């Protein structure tokens, strides 16, 4: 993608540094699609990708005074995009690990009254999120979590490949995590239950 003819790239950065919003819009439209395509390959979510792209450009605007010092804007933005993707994937991995731990503790049926209440609330929220999924995804989840079957055993029972079973479990965990976030839970309950036993 070429730089808009109205500006040479260095002049564009100088104008942005001076607070020129129209120049910043040019900069945004120049690189936005490229960043979106790169980030989406990792997040697989249009909503998350859009948020990360906006975060990158917001940081550029906030730190606009330093933009003229950047010799390679494309490389600079690509570096920021890679870091955003790494941070996001780490966050998702950590949250999924927390959900895994919560389900193990729910299955263990803790005895304290307070913890039983917390576990019941966690189960209610997670079951509500599962109700939004297809019958196949619910079946895979319940066979894994409630019957303790392995991916291979689930695959044989449902006539699926092991890879499909693993992909479904990953999708279910992602769905549950997003459901909790959308209900302003943000895994706080799950974290509290996990950390209370540490």
Is it the case that residue 117 has pLDDT exceeding 60? no
**Which of 21-30, 151-160, 189-198 is predicted least confidently?**
189-198
Over residues 87-96, mean pLDDT: 81
What is the arithmetic mean of pLDDT over 139-158? 88
Residues 16-57 have pLDDT tens digits of: 999 999 999 999 999 999 999 999 988 888 888 999 999 999
Domains and CATH numbers, the chain: 9-71 (no CATH), 92-195 (1.10.10.10)
> Is this model's pTM higher than 0.75 or not?
no
Q: In this predicted structure, what is the pLDDT of residue 156?
A: 92
Residue 190, pLDDT > 80, answer no
**What per-residue confidence (pLDDT) applies to 184?**
58
CB–CB of 57/25 below 8 Å? no
CA distances from 28 to 10, 33, 54, 56, 83 (A): 15, 9, 10, 10, 19
Rounded CA separation 158/27 (Å) = 51
Exposed/middle/buried for residue 86 (C-beta within 10 Å: 0-12, 13-18, 19+) = exposed
* Average pLDDT value for the chain: 80
Give me the pLDDT at residue 19, please.
93
Output the pLDDT for position 115: 56
Q: How confident is the model at residue 71, as a pLDDT?
A: 84
Which residue would you say has higher pLDDT here, 172 or 62? 62
């Amino acid at each position: 993608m070429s730089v808009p003819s109205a500006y040479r790239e260095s002049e564009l950065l100088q104008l942005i540094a001076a607070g020129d919003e129209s120049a910043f819009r040019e900069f945004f439209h120049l690189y936005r699609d490229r960043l979106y395509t790169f980030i989406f390959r990792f997040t697989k979510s249009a909503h998350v990708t859009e948020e990360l792209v906006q975060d990158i450009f917001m940081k550029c605007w906030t730190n606009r005074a330093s933009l003229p010092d950047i010799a390679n804007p494309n490389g600079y933005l690509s570096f920021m995009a890679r870091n955003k993707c790494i941070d996001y994937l780490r966050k998702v991995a950590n949250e999924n690990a927390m959900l895994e731990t919560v389900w193990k503790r729910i299955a263990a049926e803790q005895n304290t009254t307070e913890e039983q209440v917390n576990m019941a609330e966690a189960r209610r929220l997670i079951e509500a999120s599962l109700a939004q999924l297809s019958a196949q995804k619910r079946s895979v989840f319940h066979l894994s979590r409630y019957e303790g079957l392995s991916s291979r055993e689930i695959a044989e029972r449902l006539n699926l490949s092991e890879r499909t079973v693993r992909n479904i479990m990953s999708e279910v965990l992602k769905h549950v995590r997003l459901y909790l976030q959308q209900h302003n839970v943000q895994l706080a309950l799950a974290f509290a239950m996990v950390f209370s036993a540490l």
